[in-house]
Amino acid sequence: MTLPKTMKCLVKAKAEKGLWLEQRPVPEIEPDEVLIKVERTAICGTDMHIYKWDDWAKNNVLVGLITGHEYSGHVAAVGSGVRRVDVGQKVTGEGHVVGNRSRNARAGRFHLDPDTKGIGVNLPGAFAEYLALPEFNVIPLKDDVPLEIGAIMDPLGNAVHTALSFDLVGEDVLITGAGPIGIMAAAVAEEAGARRVVLTDINDWRLEFASKVAPKTRLVNVINENLRDVMTEIGMNEGFDVGLEMSGAEPAFNQMLDHMIMGGNIAMLGIPAKPFPVDFGKIVGKALTVRGIYGRQMYETWYKMIALLDSGLDVSAMITHRFEARDFQKAFDLMETGKTGKVILDWNAI
């Protein structure tokens, strides 16, 4: 197959709200890189920060960047040194490109490498017809994994990594924040053998939607319902064994502290918008463990994620909308309403 010289892509072309569809050269690949023909992408909260051009985006993203990091497609070309990946293979990829200098990278703890750069944040992204990616980052997909599921495996990986940070078998789990990651974490916790899963939010639309993806989870709008009463109703008399914080909201974290069992474990993925005070007396008094979670484990989380999908985890209901990539503006407008699950862009007909 001869590759085109140029491609269409979504670029942060101006320091203002929006993304712009541009024509750019198809990336050239290094010997250790793979060229992916991107076919489906999903829109992430991070993309919305870049789209809106908020303070985080202004401080972390350079104007001119091709955005996007949730994607799937087929391999279009491989560099001369590539051994593990073949042209034509269905793939997705890890969006964190790691260095090889730090202590953690040298020790194989790639997800803890401080030199990590993000596709679609610091490096050219996947909202494009073609993406160049190190072979190391490429994740082959089996034929029975739909492309659009491949495109949401990046946030699913956050959910899996956080949910599996602590043993869930037979445990009572509290998840705060029913965003896409919190909802998928509830589905993972159900699948992984938790006894009771409770998912909280303050947004009824999100909780109603969560019931489609995680049907066995008890959904709680903490504005209308008292969490202690819910615990009594579902037969809990102590506290949650495991907490997964997935909102970044101060009240959610404080509520979690108040409803944990003595000796419980908290995995914290949510990123607070600004620092907030924490009552460490509660953490000490309850002998809690609080673990920060960043990204996902390379590549153990991918292995587990594929295994969970193989063994019946179904997150297809997470995808609520599909658009042609050329209609990206409609997709971003819809994302801004907050009333969506994952929104997919199809790059095949652009």
Pick the piece of the chain touching Zn ion (CB under 5 A) from 114-122, 148-156, 176-184, 261-269.
Answer: 148-156
Strands 319-324 and 130-134 turn out to be unpaired
Which residues of this protein are in contact with ligand NAD, per CB under 6 A?
45, 158, 176-182, 200-203, 206, 222, 246-249, 251-252, 269-271, 293-295
Report d(CA 74, CA 235) in Å as an integer. Answer: 49
From the list 2, 6, 41, 49, the catalytic residue is: 49
Q: Which does 165 bind (CB under 5 to 8 A by kind): Zn ion, ligand NAD, none?
A: none
Give the relative orientation of helices 328-337 and 45-52 as an angle to the nearest 10 degrees. Answer: 100
| Torsion sign across C-alpha atoms 109, 60, 267, 297 | negative
Residue number with CB closer to ligand NAD (22 or 250): 250
Q: What three-state secondary structure class fits 164?
A: coil
Known catalytic membership, residue 301: no
Q: Give the residue at shortest CB distance from Zn ion.
A: 44
Pick the piece of the chain touching Zn ion (CB under 5 A) from 154-162, 165-173, 211-219, 244-252.
Answer: 154-162
Residue number with CB closer to ligand NAD (132 or 220): 220
Can you spell out the DSSP letters for 1-56?
Answer: -PPPSEEEEEE--SSSS--EEEEEEPPPPPTTEEEEEEEEEE--HHHHHHHHT-HH
Q: Which does 68 bind (CB under 5 to 8 A by kind): ligand NAD, Zn ion, none?
A: none
Known catalytic membership, residue 69: no
Cis status, amide bond into 294, omega within 30 of 0:
no
Q: Which does 239 bind (CB under 5 to 8 A by kind): Zn ion, ligand NAD, none?
A: none
Q: Which does 180 bind (CB under 5 to 8 A by kind): Zn ion, ligand NAD, none?
A: ligand NAD
Q: Which does 177 bind (CB under 5 to 8 A by kind): Zn ion, ligand NAD, none?
A: ligand NAD
Phi first, then psi: what are they for 27, rounded to 5°?
-60, 145
Asked if 44 is part of the footprint of Zn ion (rule: CB under 5 A), the reply reads yes
Exposure of 173 by Cβ count < 10 A (0-12 exposed, 13-18 middle, 19+ buried)? buried
Smallest CA-to-CA distance from 177 within 213, 207, 217 is with: 207
| Least distance (Å) between residue 222 CB and ligand NAD | 5
Residue 250's alpha-carbon distances to 111, 138, 173, 220, 329, in angstroms, are 26, 36, 19, 17, 32
Asked if 153 is part of the footprint of Zn ion (rule: CB under 5 A), the reply reads no
| Least distance (Å) between residue 125 CB and ligand NAD | 16
Residues 6+ apart with CB under 8 A from 54: none
From the list 46, 67, 162, 301, the catalytic residue is: 46
Residue number with CB closer to ligand NAD (208 or 233): 208
Residue number with CB closer to ligand NAD (294 or 299): 294
Question: To which H or E segment does residue 147 belong?
Answer: helix 147-150
| Least distance (Å) between residue 298 CB and Zn ion | 15
Note the residues at the interface with Zn ion (CB under 5 A): 44, 154
The residues assigned a catalytic role are 46, 49
